[in-house]
């Protein structure tokens, strides 16, 4: 099966050559890492859930006109995507103080921010993904000023959409990280959403209980990581528990006498 050429292997995903030029296959692994790879574990089934959750979100974003690299899901762990040139930035959008922002600025975790805040981190594991400003990004040529404007506009649209989507299923979107890429389309370059959107890269808190339904369960040793991801998938309506093909196999018969 893996005679396909592996193009790239990251911490949680592998990219293989796709069936046609300009396409790739994105494979979701069960690996969970945190603190720049210092903490690592296998969470069996996580890749399957993230594939489904990310498919659902990217499809919805495509539908509302946010351009993404997503084409279609192929199987339990893989999706067909368009090949893009990744802009080497992690774009973080925050609605509520948490994580590194709360630590750095001494904010109380869970406090809503005065408005949504966008931050940029330079993708460089060896440097621990340092935070950078637009000045650094343009001076070092990682993206042009126009591209940064486009990235920020898309990030805010994605945030507005996701906040509403998650609120509708009783989840507060605290913050999330996204990545963008350049897609060549007949000599034209477009900025599109790439990578994934899943509980691996979002902070998702239950509205009623503030329970964490995301990777912080792994980072902070809270247990129940897979169950939390399953809960997100279930609420989004994408958890298909062993669907039985129609018209085949045993049929459930009522045990009650009639
Ligand atoms: N995040 C991510 N990958 C990273 C760093 C952060 O997906 O390498 C996500 C993280 O899950 C959270 C948001 O970006 O939803 C903001 O993370 P923060 O800067 O607070 O980092 P952390 O607390 O994880 O160090």
Q: Give the number of other CB atoms < 10 A from CB of residue 103.
A: 11
Tens digit of each residue's pLDDT (9 = 90 or more) over 102-158: 999 999 999 999 999 999 999 999 999 999 999 999 999 999 999 999 999 999 999
Tens digit of each residue's pLDDT (9 = 90 or more) over 187-214: 899 999 999 999 999 999 999 999 999 9
Whether the pLDDT of residue 253 is over 70: the answer is no
- Name the nearest CA neighbour of 95 among 110, 114, 116: 116
Q: What is the pLDDT of residue 186?
A: 85
Nearest protein Cα to ligand 1, atom 23 = 99
Tens digit of each residue's pLDDT (9 = 90 or more) over 19-55: 999 999 999 999 999 998 899 999 999 999 999 999 9
Nearest protein Cα to ligand 1, atom 17 = 99
- Name the nearest CA neighbour of 190 among 140, 136, 153: 153
Tens digit of each residue's pLDDT (9 = 90 or more) over 162-195: 999 999 999 999 999 999 999 998 889 999 999 9
Q: How far is the CA of 26 from the centre of ligand 1 (A)?
A: 21
Q: What is the pLDDT of residue 185?
A: 86
Counting ligand 1 atoms within 8 A of each CB, the residue from 100, 101, 113, 194 with the most, and so the one to mutate, is 100
* pTM for the whole structure: 0.92
Q: How far is the CA of 98 from the centre of ligand 1 (A)?
A: 9
Q: What is the dihedral of CA 41, 46, 47, 51, to 10 degrees?
A: -150
For the CA of 177, the nearest atom of ligand 1: 14
Residue 73 token pair: 């899901």
Which residues line the pocket of ligand 1, CB cutoff 6 A?
Answer: 90, 92, 98-101, 129, 175-177, 201-203, 215
Instruction: Give the whole-angstrom CA distance, residue 60 versus residue 120.
Output: 25
Taking a C-beta distance cutoff of 8 angstroms, is the pair 233, 49 a contact?
yes
For the domain 87-206, what is the CATH code?
A: 3.30.470.20
Residue 226: strand, helix, or coil: helix
Q: How far is the CA of 152 from the centre of ligand 1 (A)?
A: 17
Q: What is the pLDDT of residue 3?
A: 75
Taking a C-beta distance cutoff of 8 angstroms, is the pair 173, 201 a contact?
no
Instruction: Give the whole-angstrom CA distance, residue 76 versus residue 119.
Output: 33
Q: CA torsion sign, 219 to 220 to 224 to 227?
A: negative
Nearest protein Cα to ligand 1, atom 7 = 201
Q: Where are the domains of the chain?
A: 87-206
């Amino acid at each position: 099966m893996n005679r396909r050429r592996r193009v790239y292997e990251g911490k949680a995903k592998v990219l293989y050559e796709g069936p046609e030029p300009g396409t790739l296959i994105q494979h979701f692994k069960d690996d969970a890492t945190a603190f720049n790879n210092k903490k690592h574990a296998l969470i069996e089934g996580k890749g399957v859930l993230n594939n489904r959750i990310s498919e659902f979100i990217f499809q919805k974003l495509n539908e509302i006109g946010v351009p993404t690299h997503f084409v279609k899901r192929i199987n339990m762990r893989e999706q067909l995507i368009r090949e893009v040139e990744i802009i080497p930035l992690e774009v973080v959008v925050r609605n509520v103080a948490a994580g590194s922002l709360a630590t750095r600025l001494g904010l109380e975790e869970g406090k809503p921010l005065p408005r949504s805040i966008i931050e940029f981190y330079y993708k460089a594991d060896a440097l621990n993904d340092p935070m950078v400003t637009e000045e650094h990004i343009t001076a070092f040529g990682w993206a042009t000023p126009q591209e940064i404007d486009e990235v920020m506009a898309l990030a805010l649209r994605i945030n507005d959409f996701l906040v509403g989507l998650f609120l509708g299923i009783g989840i507060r979107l605290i913050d999330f990280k996204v990545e963008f890429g350049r897609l060549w389309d007949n000599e034209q370059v477009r900025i599109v959403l790439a990578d994934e959107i899943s509980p691996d890269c979002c902070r998702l808190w239950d509205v009623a209980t503030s329970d964490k339904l995301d990777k912080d369960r792994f980072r902070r040793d809270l247990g129940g990581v897979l169950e939390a991801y399953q809960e997100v998938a279930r609420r989004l309506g994408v958890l298909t528990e062993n669907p039985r093909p129609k018209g085949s196999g045993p049929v459930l018969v009522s045990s009650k006498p009639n």
